Amino acid sequence: MLARLGLEPGEEEFYSEQLSSILEHIDRLQQLDTETIAPTAQVVEVSNPLREDVPRPGLTQEDALANAPAAVNGMFRVPSIQEET
Amino acid sequence: MPDGWDVVIGMEVHVQPRTRTKMFCGCAVAPLNAAPNSYVCEICLGLPGTLPVINKAAVEACLKSALALSCEIPRHTKFDRKNYMYPDLPKGYQISQYDLPMSVNGHLELNGRKIRIRRVHLEEDTGKLVHAGDKLHKAWESFVDLNRAGVPLMEIVTEPDLRSADEARDYAMELRTLLRMIGVSEADMEKGQLRAEANVSVNREGSSELGVKTELKNINSFRALHRAILYEVDRQTKLIESGGAVEQETRGWSEAEQRTFSQRSKEFAEDYRYFPEPDLPPLEIDPDWVEDLRRTLPELPGARRTRLTSQHGLSAAQVAVIGGDRDLADLYEGAVAQGAPTQPTANWIVNEVAPTGKLLAPQHLAELMQMMGRDAISRDQAREVMPIQRPWPTTEAGRSRRCRH
């Protein structure tokens, strides 16, 4: 996704600085000693937020396809996908 | 199965539980032949900034299925991301369960043998791709319909306990019977509500060394499952006998050509980089909740068949039909309770009710059978007057099927 962001001329430096500082921060996190800490997938202390099985309106087909680069007959069109080898 | 060879089969079956909405969003589950991309929302389209919320009915269907399969239900369970880039899931990952599934270590009794169930877990279905161009080799472009993306699926995985194509087919059919009987799914294979995959390997008879397995996909009927396994066993044994080696791979079943074909080569080595789904807090399964669900389960097919055999003295063939369907079994036992004779009633249900789909009330069947017993009416006359109470199937799943379509 990031790779697809379009940058205006002149913005390159601004964003390269931002990106560098993010990477530096990650480097810093890597230095922490986590040997004794159990893997943590969740820090939010909520469990079981379940939803009742009741339908609610979604998007129309037109809205669903509105931002698609290409659509044909109500379907998203994507480059050829081949499973066969 | 071929002389001198042992066949080892494990099954993965995906079943769509009967819910009104998708797994993680409030989109209604699309009816068959709905216009493409008309049952979608920001969540199942994977638009940025959206968050999934778990469907309680899907969790309950999974737990009930797990209970009916005698599984253990751990107190803690969670969802994980299975990452892969393919346009059938726009998020770039499928929400599934990896190391803490909803349930583990169950079994399904099949012809007196226990087939071990490794796990039953929940995940979401993917969208549908349509390829344009030469069907098999030269798709020029692909089209995506995301109506199915995010629809709940239960994945039921066996240990490699099945020993023949017959047994694999019987297992899938018994699983369907069970899931229908407990009302969690219609489990109709033709509608894609039950999808079976078989992991098949062969080894020399008596050898403790397991052969290399292939995974069979694209199977859309019990007959296709049976034929695909027979074909694959034959292919593998001939390959080994002629000095070759079986390659571990995914193979599709071609109904048109009645053969399996290689679908995915090793270059696409499966590395899904599973990690815990950060957008969903873990699930805590309260044992009281599980017990409540257990109480809602009807008598399971195995127990019911045993009773039909031992108490009513029905034959294996009669039990196979009557014991395999909740409506028919209820009709039979209801009629017998009201004085209908056991054998003639069982035969009538097998020959006149099951094939015609004309279900009648137990008391009407009891009266009819008694009148026939007294020779008050002939068989033809009984057929003529058989009052149809309601069309069959009339299970909840069957009813909702008619409502939806």
Q: What's the helix, strand, coil split of chain A in %, to 5?
A: 35, 10, 55
Q: Is the pLDDT of residue B404 over 50?
A: no
Does the beta carbon of A5 lie under 8 angstroms from any beta carbon of chain B? no
Q: Is the pLDDT of residue B292 over 50?
A: yes
Contact B20 A79 (CB under 8 A): no
Q: What is the pLDDT of residues B54-109, one digit of tens each?
A: 999 999 999 999 999 999 999 999 999 999 888 899 999 999 999 999 999 999 99
Contact A64 B142 (CB under 8 A): no
Write the residue in B133, B144, B265 that is nearest to A75 by C-beta.
B144
> For the residues B239-247, what does the mean pLDDT come to?
95
Is A59 strand, coil or helix?
strand
Beta bridge partners of residue B56, listed in sequence order: none
Does the beta carbon of A56 lie under 8 angstroms from any beta carbon of chain B? yes
Contact B143 A54 (CB under 8 A): no
**Do residues B261 and B308 share a domain?**
no
Contact A75 B263 (CB under 8 A): no
- pLDDT for residue B267: 47
Question: Could you say which of B260, B293, B326 is where a domain stops?
Answer: B293
**Do residues B289 and B308 share a domain?**
no
- Count of domains for chain B: 2
Q: To the nearest whole angstrom, how far is the Cα of A78 from the nearest Cα of chain B?
A: 5
> For the residues B195-210, what does the mean pLDDT come to?
93
Contact A76 B129 (CB under 8 A): no
Interface probe, candidates B20, B45, B100, B289, chain A, greatest A C-beta count within 10 A: B45
Contact A85 B265 (CB under 8 A): yes
Percent of chain B whose predicted confidence (pLDDT) is above 90: 74
**Do residues B34 and B94 share a domain?**
yes
* Residue A40 burial by Cβ neighbours in a 10 Å radius (0-12, 13-18, 19+): exposed
Measured between alpha carbons, how far is A59 from B42 in angstroms, rounded to an integer?
7
Is A52 strand, coil or helix?
coil
Write the residue in B137, B140, B281 that is nearest to A49 by C-beta.
B281
Other beta carbons within 10 angstroms of residue B255's beta carbon come to 15
Write the residue in A46, A54, A83 that is nearest to B281 by C-beta.
A46
Interface probe, candidates B37, B38, B126, chain A, greatest A C-beta count within 10 A: B37
Write the residue in B19, B131, B265 that is nearest to A81 by C-beta.
B131
State the DSSP H helix or E strand holding residue A77, giving kind and residue range, or none if neither: strand A75-79
**Do residues B282 and B354 share a domain?**
no
Question: Could you say which of B269, B293, B317 is where a domain stops?
Answer: B293
For A48, which residue in chain B has the nearest alpha carbon? B283
- pLDDT for residue B81: 96
Q: What is the pLDDT of residues B145-158, one digit of tens each?
A: 999 999 999 999 99
Greater pLDDT, B265 or B271: B271
Interface probe, candidates A76, A77, A78, A80, chain B, greatest B C-beta count within 10 A: A76
Which strands sit side by side in the sheet containing B138-145, from one edge to the other? A71-72, A75-79, B138-145, B128-134
Is there a contact between B39 and B28 (Cβ–Cβ < 8 Å)? yes
Q: What does pTM read for this prediction?
A: 0.83
The ranges of chain A with pLDDT < 50 are 84-85
Q: What is the pLDDT of residues B308-319, one digit of tens each?
A: 999 999 999 999
For A43, which residue in chain B has the nearest alpha carbon? B281
Does the beta carbon of A42 lie under 8 angstroms from any beta carbon of chain B? yes
Residue range(s) defining the domain that contains residue B71 = 5-293
Write the residue in A47, A49, A74 that is nearest to B36 by C-beta.
A74
- pLDDT for residue B301: 87
Q: To the nearest whole angstrom, how far is the Cα of B32 from the nearest Cα of chain A?
A: 16
Question: Could you say which of B293, B325, B358 is where a domain stops?
Answer: B293
Contact B37 A50 (CB under 8 A): no
> For the residues B322-349, what does the mean pLDDT come to?
92
**Do residues B233 and B92 share a domain?**
yes
For B145, which residue in chain A has the nearest alpha carbon? A75
Distance between the two ends of chain B, CA-based, in angstroms? 42
- pLDDT for residue B85: 85
Which tokens belong to B19? 């819910």
The chain-wide mean pLDDT, for chain B, equals 90
Q: To the nearest whole angstrom, how far is the Cα of B280 from the nearest Cα of chain A?
A: 8
**Do residues B288 and B306 share a domain?**
no
**Do residues B289 and B316 share a domain?**
no
**Do residues B151 and B221 share a domain?**
yes
Is A14 strand, coil or helix?
helix
Greater pLDDT, B274 or B135: B274
**Do residues B307 and B285 share a domain?**
no
Is there a contact between B45 and B144 (Cβ–Cβ < 8 Å)? no
**Do residues B32 and B158 share a domain?**
yes
Is A50 strand, coil or helix?
strand
**Do residues B202 and B329 share a domain?**
no
Q: To the nearest whole angstrom, how far is the Cα of A77 from the nearest Cα of chain B?
A: 5
Write the residue in B21, B59, B265 that is nearest to A54 by C-beta.
B21
Is A15 strand, coil or helix?
helix
**Do residues B52 and B68 share a domain?**
yes
Which tokens belong to B240? 């080994």
- pLDDT for residue A36: 86
For B19, which residue in chain A has the nearest alpha carbon? A53
Q: To the nearest whole angstrom, how far is the Cα of A40 from the nearest Cα of chain B?
A: 9
Contact B59 A61 (CB under 8 A): no
Distances (CA, A) of B223 to B39, B164, B220: 32, 14, 8
